[in-house]
Structure 1
Amino acid sequence: MPYPFVLPTTSCFSFSSSFSCESHPSLLLHASTHRGVVRETLKKYKRLPLSSQAPGLSSVVSSLNGYLPYLFAVDAGLSHRAVQGDEINVVLRTAPTMEWRPTLSEGPVPGKEAARVRVQSLEYEVFFAMSALANAHSLQARASLHPLYVTSTAPVGTQQRQAAVTSATRSLLDAASIYDYLATRAEGLVTNPPCPDISAAAVRAQASLALAEATLLAVLKDDPYPAVVAQDRNQNDTEWMYKAPDMPKVRAHLFARLCLAASEHAAQAHSLCAGRVAGGKVNQEFVRYLEDLRRTSRAKACRFFGIDSELGGQTGTAIAWLHAGLQELGVERKEVKKSGGLGRLKKEWAEKREDRKVEKGVNWGADAGRLEETRVIEMLEAKWTKQNDTILTQAIPPTGPLLAQMPSGREIHSIKPFQPPVLDSGTLEAMRAPPERSDELGNYLSSDEETLAEPVGAFPGTSGEYRTSTPNYY
């Protein structure tokens, strides 16, 4: 599952307070206006309940896509680069001061969000805005995949399943392209970032993560077993007869190598974020997710190698591959089928808790699919063990030699170079006119206010009993 990113929020800022532009006087006003829209959209999204945030992602993506061309135009003017063949002359008067709330940085107290950081460079403004866009693309991928795991309604059809996976893959590859562009840009900086969120290591890790998740979706699109396991728990399923999934032998081996490629990308991302990075430490929940994704990917590879062996009539070797998959997941294999006690109750409680998260649409899949893959492997192990004990009686080899002979991964996706958005010639020509008004903010609050000022006429200490709202500056 794509990682459940938290989108950042930002403070107010007017470009004319720190920059001037003689060639295109209206550019700064338009940049401030679109940044104000981004700020309001992110703040509104954050205040929505977690289960209702998915429909608001399109507004977040639209506002960021509208703001980035103006931000890149100001950045190009500072660097004396032409836009659409038009020279933009932007002059820095004073150092800009913006505030962003990081979401991947480790907070001072576990479970509490990190404090806002002050950004005094337009370069890091670009990093935060584009990181927010990439995170929003990842969240859109989660929203597309969510119906595939809901068991309280009728199962989705094959066409709807493939359409959801295709849409999620497209969103993840867009996110990977943005992360890769930011990582390349960050590696050329000589200053230290204000927080780990926009450090070169963290951004590169997020690019590897998005590529790993997109690779796993290429497998999920044609992998029938997770749907079978979810179908078995769905009370609304109307199919009384069950036919074993068909999977060609060549495709099973190909899927295993794709999963190994995903595990390599997840391992690379984990190595980049496991220690201290520039600006501080990355949230341990994110680091734990990367490790879980690596384990899950290798376990999937073991399962597909087992399917490949079972299709070839080697049931004993297939069962050994399933044992290796459970070992990669860190799950203790039960020798007795009907094992009871506290361990079984704990497992059933964890499964029911994850199912409730899926139904509510809140923080589901935070284990990178470990629980789901465990269910699939245990289902196949029970089926093949019964078959081997009653019919075939093949010896089950040890798992060590099998893991030692695993091949290398195989790539299926490549990250396309990101092309920064640019303003069209007509818009640039129109901004040569003087601005209609000033973009000065006045005496407004300067952050994503969690505590608002006292309402006019309110008795001191009773501000929480009044409905207030932050003024819209633009």
Structure 2
Amino acid sequence: MPYPFVLPTTSAFFFSSSFSCETHPSLPLNASTHRGVVRDTLKKHKRLPPLSQVSNLSSVVSSLNSYLPYLFAIDAGLSHRAVQGEEINVILKTAPAIEWRPTLSESAVVPGKRETARVKIQSLEYEVFFALSALASACTLQARAALQPLYVTSTAPVGTQQRQAALASASKSLLDAASICDYLAARAEGLVAAPPCADISQAAARAQCSLALAEATLLAVLKDDPYPAVVAQDRNRNDTEWMYKAPEIPKVRTHLFARLCLAAADHAAQAHSLCAGAGGRMSHGFLRYLEDLRRTSRAKACRFLAIDAEMGGQTGTAIAWLQAGFLELGVERKDVKKSGGGGSGGGGLSKFKKEWTERREDRKAEKGADWGADASKLEETRVLEMLEAKWTKQNDTIFTQAIPPTGQLLAQMPSGREIYSIKPFRPPLLDGAALEAMRAPPDRSDDAGNYPSSDEDTIVDAVPVGAFPGTQADYRTGTPNYY
């Protein structure tokens, strides 16, 4: 958590090949320059190892934020809208030919490659959609980067202040992503033609907005939820805090946290229904993550209701709520050992498989790979098992209360409660000085023949000066060899 998005890549495109601007002749050239930076940054980011991608996210966000004002200026010029009080007159010469590689669609795989095929777009509107979608995904990845130190168990656990700062930074990034996706979904309402892929459809934008809201809501709960940190401490050999106070949550907040988790579950369910209704074109991994997030959110709500019951002396009801949490997660449970050893009874093979899965997830978090791809189901399972072992032992030796059926408790779950509202996204605009400078004619040509593919590392050589057309292959362009 949050979802490990993969950033898209794109082919080269030069605006002067399809657009001209009478009022600001240098606008197409400047837009092409900033788009080239975005293309190179996305291509470089794709080829970096996972740990290096974390430090490169700021470059991705910066390049996209620098490119968007020029893209929106051309979009405003096509619609004869003023920017900063200045009229921009952009003329469409030919339909643009741009390629983007989607990352959420179940597209056809290129023969001989493991990557999905690129989609061709011939509208500037879809260029706006892909650029903003990439920015929203980058914001979500920044939230993951801020949270990653909290899940590493090979080093000493982070302090309280650092933990709160990481959660606040991640929440801000997720709310920014939700704002961008909400803008895209509203903008898609005016489109008549079907999008070229599911990545930039209205359903996908609505789903990503709901997903970001769900994850931000769960982070608001995680700020005051001590149990995941306690479970992580138990696995961390470098933890020197061997004596700590038992986790405490004020009783007045347990119901609030449960309702927040249920609101997150509703957002995740809405996102899943939107993507599942997109004709089966969305990635199965993305759909599975949305379903896992819904389950995890409801299981967290059951845990907080269990904590509330245990604080009130109803240990049997608390254990029933924990069992309801396992049921929401889809985890099969057998009778808990009366010795309080924790976990379900089962053979050595199932225990070995469980421990191997947990170690693999810890290694993913340490390496910065696709950790948390199960929407924190494993983490919540660990917390439920810890509380179940503790309370079962207490109930068997001290309280001896009956455990009510889980079905009756699930029917009594409260409704969700929202904590965040989406702030409207305002497209970035060029300032007056930049617009005034682009009234001058361009100082160089916008050559569209040098970057034909987003997968090539080298620039295709242009035709040598003075060469007869079609004979450029006969000219030596590298370092000459002397015999």
**After TM superposition, is the score higher than 0.5?**
yes
Q: Which runs of 4+ in 1 moved over 2 A?
A: 107-113, 336-342, 450-455
- Written as runs of structure 1 = structure 2, the 5 A alignment for 1:174-193 is 174-193=176-195
Q: Distance in 2 between matches of 1:275 and 1:341?
A: 42
User: Structure 1 residues 454, 417: CA separation in 2 closer, same or farther (over 3 Å shift)?
Assistant: closer
SS at match of 2:446: coil
Q: Paired residue for 1:465? A: none
Shift in CA distance, 230/177, structure 1 to aligned 2, threshold 3 Å? same
Output the CA distance in 1 between the equivalents of 2:459 and 2:71. Answer: 31
> Structure 1 CA distance, aligned partners of 2:50 and 2:433?
41
Residue aligning to 2:474: none
Distance 2:243 2:405 in 1: 35
Does 267-276 or 84-93 show the bigger shift? 267-276
Q: Residue 58 and residue 269 in structure 1: after superposition, are their counterparts in 2 closer, same or farther (change >3 A)?
A: same
Q: Distance in 2 between matches of 1:246 and 1:445?
A: 59
Counterpart among 237, 244, 263 of residue 242 in structure 1: 244
| Whole-Å separation in 2 of the counterparts to 1:21 and 1:224 | 58
Q: 1:413 maps to what in 2?
A: 420
Residues 199 and 41 (structure 1), Cα distance of their counterparts in 2 relative to 1, 3 Å cut: same
Instruction: Name the larger-Rg structure.
Output: 2
CA distance in 1 between counterparts of 2:433 and 2:52 reads 38
- Indicate the SS of the match to 1:73: helix
The letter of the residue matching 1:418 is F
Determine the C-alpha separation between the residues in 1 that align with 2:114 and 2:270. 27
**Deviation of the 1:285 alpha carbon:** 0.2
Listed as ranges, the gaps of 5+ residues in structure 1 are: 456-467, 469-474
Alpha-carbon distance in structure 2 between the residues aligned to 1:108 and 1:313: 57
Query: 1:452 Cα shift?
Result: 6.3
1:209 pairs, out of 207, 211, 216, with 211
Q: Is the 8 A contact 1:29 1:435 kept in 2?
A: yes
Cα drift, residue 172 of structure 1: 0.2
Query: Separation in 1 of the partners of 2:452 and 2:213?
Result: 36
Residues 177 and 355 of structure 1: is their aligned pair in 2 closer, same or farther, counting only changes over 3 Å?
same
Distance in 1 (CA, whole Å) between partners of 2:446 and 2:235 is 57
Determine the structure 1 residue equivalent to 2:438.
431
1:458 matched to which residue of 2?
A: none
> Is the deviation greater in 46-55 or in 211-220?
46-55
Counterpart of 1:349 (choices 350, 356, 376) is 356
- Report how many residues are paired: 453
- CA-CA distance at 1:336 after TM superposition: 4.0
Aligned to 2:169: 167
Q: Secondary structure at the match of 2:383?
A: helix
Distance 2:348 2:230 in 1: 27
Rounded Cα–Cα distance in structure 2 between residues aligned with 1:164 and 1:288: 26
For 2:66, the equivalent position in structure 1 comes to 66
Residue identity matched to 1:381: E
Q: Give per-residue Cα distances to partners, 1:229-281, cap 9 Å, x unaligned.
A: 0000000001121321111111111000000000000000000111434xx70
2:470 paired residue number? none
Distance 1:17 1:454, change over 3 A: closer
Taking only aligned residues, the RMSD between alpha carbons, in angstroms, comes to 1.7
Q: Give 1:446's aligned residue.
A: 452
Task: State the SS of the aligned residue for 2:424.
Answer: coil
Q: Which residue of 1 aligns with 2:475?
A: none
User: In structure 1, what is the equivalent of residue 104 of structure 2?
Assistant: 104
| Contact 1:358–1:364 (CA under 8 A) maintained in structure 2 | yes
Gaps of at least 5 residues in structure 2 are 338-344, 462-477, 479-483
The answer on whether the counterparts of 1:107 and 1:113 sit within 8 Å (CA) in structure 2 is no
Matches within 5 A, 1:366-385: 366-385=373-392
Please say which of residues 59-68 and 98-107 is displaced more in the overlay.
98-107
Once the 2 structures are TM-superposed, how far is the Cα of residue 454 of structure 1 from its aligned partner?
10
Structure-1 separation of matches of 2:292 and 2:439: 53
* Pick aligned residue for 1:269 from 250, 268, 271: 271
Amino acid at match of 2:377: R
Q: Is 1:221 aligned with 2:219?
A: no
Specify the code of the residue in structure 2 equivalent to 1:208: S
| 1:297 matches 2:303 | no
Amino acid at match of 2:93: R
**Counterpart-to-counterpart distance in 1, 2:129 and 2:39:** 15
Contact 1:103–1:113 (CA<8 Å) still a contact in 2? no
Q: Secondary structure at the match of 2:82?
A: coil
- The answer on whether the counterparts of 2:451 and 2:460 sit within 8 Å (CA) in structure 1 is no
Checking the alignment, whether the CA contact within 8 Å between 1:54 and 1:143 is kept in structure 2 is yes
Residues 328 and 423 of structure 1: CA distance in aligned 2, closer, same or farther (over 3 Å): same
